[in-house]
Amino acid sequence: MPFAIKKAQRINELPPYLFAEIDRRKRAVQARGVDLIDLGVGDPDIPTPAKIVEKLMEAASRPVNHRYPSSAGLLEFRQAVADWYQRRFAVKLDPVTEVVSLIGSKEGIANMALGFVDPGDIVLVASPCYPVYHIGTSFCGGKNYFLPLTMANRFLPDLDAIPAEVARQAKMLWINYPNNPTAAVAEKNFFARVVEFASRHNIIVCHDAAYTEMGFDGYRPMSFLEVDGAREVGIEFHSLSKTFNMTGWRIGMAVGNPDLVAGLAQVKSNVDSGIFQAVQEAAIEALRLGDQIIEPSRKIYQERRDILVSGLHGAGFDCERPRATFYVWVAVPKGLTSAQCTTKLLDEAGIVTTPGNGFGEAGEGYVRFTVCVDKERLKEVTDRIRQVRF
């Protein structure tokens, strides 16, 4: 008999990873010789600032950095995170007990469930969302309960609509503002309601804050930890990926409640060996420089946002001008599903977008565009869309 390999049930039950499926479709269209404009994946096209690269090169040349790093992260890196949080959000953190380094925030988000979710535990997930929130739950045998984000509620979860029995059993809540994929933002009164809800039901709050530094028109998104009581119930995930155009570097952080940080750090000490110390030294430089190197990217993305949104409006699409993130959440034309709209854009215009339902059922009826190409290509996008019959 041939050797039989059987995958674990948790793998067999996974839906196709959203961006892997997009890549497959892109390759098929490219094989026909189509010039694609890729607005599908949120991967910054702006290079990492030169000062960060220079710091990496210098740090990588020192043999002390060639050995195993600490899985929790260099204390100097964690201190830099604490200093940045103090400057940016006026949030004071203990770098020893309230900060842990991550191999990109995706890793930390996935491992959070390993530390705190047991089989059968209910996890509340605002959806549409970054898929890793609910995949981490599923891998640990937990049960996801999705909170639909709708235009009627400004893409904020309706906590009052959660059944009392579900709230009593829930272990954890995932939120993300500024939001991927909807580009919605949340203000202090919403976060205060989250803290009250979590305190009343003894629920861990996990806030993905990866896009706080991508605010436009002078808007400065806040940290969940700025709200009174947030540190008692929650942990916040942040990343240098989008903030400093460092997606390939794989470095981020989780901060907040010491017991939550310690639990996540304990998982990491058993499953990874930390981040290359030279990358951590470069990240320290990035955090030290802060807005000096963030602001140029912010201006570029704002200009691109204006070009894309104006072009989409001119082509008859319904979308808001986002206050943050590099995403634009666009309602599909009547009579089309999200998948039909993205397929039409790809096949007839060579434009790669992401169907909203790929982020969850509540995303049906929308398509997500990014602004991760230069402005000339974005102008071409709007020209191409006008040629498509919807």
How many Å apart are CA 354 and CA 339, to the nearest integer?
A: 8
CATH number for the domain that contains residue 105 = 3.40.640.10
Task: State whether 56 and 69 are in the same domain.
Answer: yes
Task: State whether 203 and 62 are in the same domain.
Answer: yes
Task: State whether 54 and 41 are in the same domain.
Answer: no
Question: What total of structural domains would you count in the chain?
Answer: 2
From 259, 289, 319, give the residue that closes a domain: 289
Burial of 47 (0-12, 13-18, 19+ CB in 10 A): exposed
How many Å apart are CA 178 and CA 214, to the nearest integer?
A: 8
Burial code of 2-38, b = ≥16 C-beta within 10 A, e = fewer?
eeeeeeeeeeeeeeeebeeebeeebeebeeeeeeebb
Task: State whether 240 and 307 are in the same domain.
Answer: no
92-110: pLDDT as tens digits? 999 999 999 999 999 999 9
From 289, 320, 343, give the residue that closes a domain: 289
177-236: pLDDT as tens digits? 999 999 999 999 999 999 999 999 999 999 999 999 999 999 999 999 999 999 999 999
CA end-to-end distance (rounded Å), the chain: 53
15 pLDDT above the threshold of 80: no
302-352: pLDDT as tens digits? 999 999 999 999 999 999 999 999 999 999 999 999 999 999 999 999 999
Is beta strand 318-319 parallel, antiparallel or unpaired with respect to 252-256?
Answer: unpaired
How many Å apart are CA 58 and CA 250, to the nearest integer?
A: 18
Domain extent for 33 = 9-47+293-386
4 within domain boundaries: no
> What pairs with residue 148 in β-bridges?
127
Residue entry with tokens 């979308």: 319
2 within domain boundaries: no
Number of H helices, E strands in the chain: 15, 13
